[in-house]
């Protein structure tokens, strides 16, 4: 499992414009990435991060590590029902 500790997010014009299409801001991505989160390994060396913004919006962030050690943001959007369940299951308080 790729660790997200110490990883920085890589921003450029393309991914900023892409997340706008999903109604997500750069600030929301930064908040969700820094919050309590769940990391899920994906294909092509990608990592899916599910985390909450300060307004409790649950976001899914897709990061690529294919060409660099820091996480290039491929996408960010509202979490799916399955992703919300995974997040909630892994963050249950007893």
Per residue in 25-57, pLDDT tens? 999 999 999 999 999 998 888 999 999 999 999
The pTM (predicted TM-score) of the whole model is 0.90
Burial of 61 (0-12, 13-18, 19+ CB in 10 A): buried
CA proximity to 87, closest of 59, 53, 64, 62:
59
Distances (CA, A) of 44 to 3, 53, 75, 83: 16, 27, 14, 19
Give the Cα separation of 94 and 18 in Å (integer).
Answer: 38
pLDDT in tens, 54-91: 999 999 999 998 878 899 999 999 999 999 999 999 98
């Amino acid at each position: 499992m790729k660790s997200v500790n110490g990883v920085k997010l890589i921003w450029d014009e393309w991914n900023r414009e892409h997340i706008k299409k999903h109604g997500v801001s750069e600030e929301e991505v930064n908040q969700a990435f820094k919050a309590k989160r769940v990391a899920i390994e994906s294909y092509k060396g990608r990592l899916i991060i599910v985390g909450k913004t300060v307004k409790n919006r649950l976001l899914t962030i897709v990061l690529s590590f294919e060409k660099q050690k820091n996480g290039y943001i491929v996408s960010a959007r509202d979490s799916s029902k399955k992703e919300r369940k995974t997040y909630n299951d892994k963050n249950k308080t007893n």
